[in-house]
Amino acid sequence: MTAFRTLASVALVFMFSSVGSAAQITGEYLEARSCNVYTGPCFANAEMDLCGKEAVMAWKVDEGTWNNVSLDGLGAALIVRSEKTMGSDGVFPMKPGRVAAVILVDERATQEQHYALVSFVKDNAPQLAENIVKVQKAPIELKNDHLTGVGTFKAGKLAQIETRALTKDDCVCTNEIIYYQPLNEVENFTPVYSLKMAYQGEGLDSRWNNLNLRSAFQATFRR
């Protein structure tokens, strides 16, 4: 009888643990920065506090809710500009200094979904989203092919990411590693080659169009 009660207790704990860890929202993620994230330490040190001050982070919800609001099929993005290099090598986080950011919200979102998407973005990147200078609607598209490394993000004429898989020809110093981690918590992330990372909107006192860097990540998210 005691053994039965013990097994029953373990089963209940497992059941509630499973429920508690169930994802409420899942989807695709694409990120690109203005510094190499897959690189050798010598290259990374040479770029430190000179590059990596701009980033585009984009999410596309496959299914799920946030703040009890369904966000199926909708997207959002965080455009960030910092004083110094953003990122972490997994051990030592960088200190980006002053940070300003713009949030782009899917123009198809209702008012309730709009607020939920803004909350979702802020919760995913709390440090980078501390100083939001502008929230703007845009037509958002995001597609990832994890087998080929091809990823595309587009927010109208405001922001864009295009990626391909890394190849052996992208190995410059033969000592490349994933030097920086993604800028927020994601799953199944893979470094990819950024053909283009652009922001042409307002609010950050800067616009950019960066080409051909080992500076992007494809991933999924589950919260």
In a domain, 71, yes or no: yes
| Reported confidence tier of residue 102, pLDDT bands at 50, 70, 90 | very high
In a domain, 81, yes or no: yes
Cβ atoms 80, 97 nearer than 8 A = no
19, pLDDT greater than 60: no
In a domain, 2, yes or no: no
Q: CA–CA separation, 132 vs 125, rounded Å?
A: 11
Q: CA–CA separation, 131 vs 133, rounded Å?
A: 6
In a domain, 216, yes or no: yes
Q: pLDDT tens-digit profile of 103-138?
A: 999 999 999 999 999 999 999 999 999 999 999 999
Q: What is the mean pLDDT of residues 32-42?
A: 91
Total number of domains in the chain: 1
Q: Is the pTM of this model over 0.85?
A: yes
Give strand pairing partners of 163: 151, 194
Cβ atoms 32, 151 nearer than 8 A = no
In a domain, 3, yes or no: no
In a domain, 18, yes or no: no
Domain that holds residue 76: 23-222
